[in-house]
Amino acid sequence: MAELTEDQTLIVETARAFAQERLRPNAARWEHEGLDRGVLQELAGLGFAGIYVREDVGGSGLSRLDAALIFEELSRGCIATAAFMSIHNMCAWMIDSFASPEQRQAWLPQLTAGEKIASYCLTEPGSGSDAAGLRTTAKADGNAHYVINGSKAFISGAGFSDLYVLMCRTGEDGPKGVSTVLVEAGTKGLSFGKQEDKMGWRAQPTAIVNFEDCRVPADNRIGPEGEGFKYAMKGLDGGRLNIAACALGGAQDALDRALAYVKERRQFGKRIADFQNTQFQLADMETDLAASRALLHQAARKLDAKTPDATKFCAMAKRFVTDTAFRVADQALQLHGGYGYLADYEVERIVRDLRVHRILEGTNEIMRVIVSRDILKA
């Protein structure tokens, strides 16, 4: 973690201390009990609920690189909690960036304080990677309201969150007909499917979100009609960095656990750490994570600087870091031998949690499409 400023070093230390004291000891328990709202509020108290939201509404006004540092550290404690906070941050950023001054003042102080938690609703049962094909509609009912119909799938925080940042169709087919509307929990016609039984991220609730003649004030639309797809795509660059950072932190935790284990465990009269095969494996894992961190930080700096190649670098980082992190965590499990397969050692939870990072915020196949499209047009 070279070249960090004094402030960034302090941010890392704060996030690391919280992760080790409050998240890591509870991560296994939360798999069964679910997210702890109190802990999310504690994270908000540290300024981690509006990391790159402007300060006039309670945000921390930090950079994308700062966010990557924070989410890596938090994930060393609990990947599912850290990733959930990253989604809340993306929602807050979207409102901060594209909402009117009145909307910013109405929503953001509550979101940055952790009094309200937000979920992001883009994916549908029939459109995952093809986000522009979404079919949930918001039809104008006079000038004052929209009536929303449709459903969203795989929504983190469904039934738990207080606010849903919804991408819906207000116009023609394709990306130009998509708008962004805020839907509050408790709105008539808003309902949730059963909690999905997932391989990983089990601490956070995931379900289908249904809209059935759901009436929402037109004042809840963010920006003009037809701009929503643009907002969603702009949000994905940062979202990809956050998901990569969460994967990196989880893999680092797995490596830390493996290091401790191989120093203690003895086979054939010596420590597992004393076998050259183990040493080579550990060296590769450490190198792979260092390379991942370097690419992630480079991509974050590019996004902060708004360079023309930022989107390509965010896609490259997301693809490389999430693939690498999953492989490193799997190797950490292997180094534990049979014990790695047991829940008590917690490495199997990390492996399960990290698997989905290669799918969400755009699958890693879609990342390859973005990168190849960029280099072939040159």
Yes or no: say if 227 and 180 are a contact pair by the CB < 8 Å rule.
yes
Quickly list H helices, the chain.
6-18, 27-33, 37-45, 64-75, 79-98, 101-112, 228-264, 276-305, 310-335, 347-355, 364-376
- Start and end residues for every CATH 2.40.110.10 domain found in the chain: 118-225
Residues 183-214 pLDDT 10s: 999 999 999 999 999 999 999 999 999 999 99
Q: The tokens of 350 are what?
A: 């990390």
For 271, residues 6+ apart whose C-beta sits below 8 A from its C-beta are: 262, 263, 264, 265
Tokens encoding 35: 């997210």
Catalytic residues: 361
As annotated, the residues of the chain forming the CATH 1.20.140.10 domain(s) are 229-376
Among candidates 238, 243, 293, which has minimal Cα distance to 4? 293
Distance CA 156, CA 153 (A): 9
Q: State the DSSP code for 195.
A: P
Q: Is the pLDDT of residue 1 over 70?
A: no
pTM above 0.75, yes or no: yes
Q: Average of pLDDT values for 343-353?
A: 97
Residue 155 pairs in a beta bridge with 207
Stretch 41-45: mean pLDDT: 97
pLDDT-derived band at 127, boundaries 50, 70, 90: confident
Query: Which of 334, 366, 367 shows the shortest CA–CA distance to 350?
Result: 334
Amino acid in position 148:
I
Residue 128: the pLDDT is 73
Stretch 42-46: mean pLDDT, rounded?
A: 97
At 221, list the tokens: 């639309």
**Which among 333, 353, 363 is positioned nearest to 248, based on CA atoms?**
353
Paired sense of beta strands 145-156 and 221-222, if any = unpaired
Of the chain, the percentage scoring pLDDT greater than 90 comes to: 94
What Å distances lie between residue 159 and 164, 168, 184, 211, 214, CA to CA?
10, 19, 11, 13, 15
The 10s digit of each residue's pLDDT in 277-302 is 999 999 999 999 999 999 999 999 99
Average pLDDT over every residue of 170-174: 91
Q: Does domain 6-112 have CATH number 1.10.540.10?
A: yes
The structure tokens listed for 277 are 């095969």
Q: To which residue do tokens 């991560």 refer? A: 27
Q: What is the mean pLDDT of residues 315-331?
A: 98
Distance CA 148, CA 141 (A): 10
pLDDT tens for residues 215-249?
Answer: 999 999 999 999 999 999 889 999 999 999 999 99
Among the CATH numbers 3.40.50.300, 2.40.110.10, 1.10.490.10, 2.70.150.10, which is that of 118-225? 2.40.110.10
pLDDT at residue 41 above 80?
Answer: yes
> Which alpha helices (H) appear in 48-115, and where do they start and end?
64-75, 79-98, 101-112
Query: Which of 293, 274, 296, 297 lies closest to 285, judged by CA?
Result: 293
Residues 244/246/249/250 CA torsion (nearest 10 deg):
-110
Residue 133 has pLDDT above 90, yes or no: no
Fold that domain 229-376 belongs to in CATH: Butyryl-CoA Dehydrogenase, subunit A; domain 3 (1.20.140)
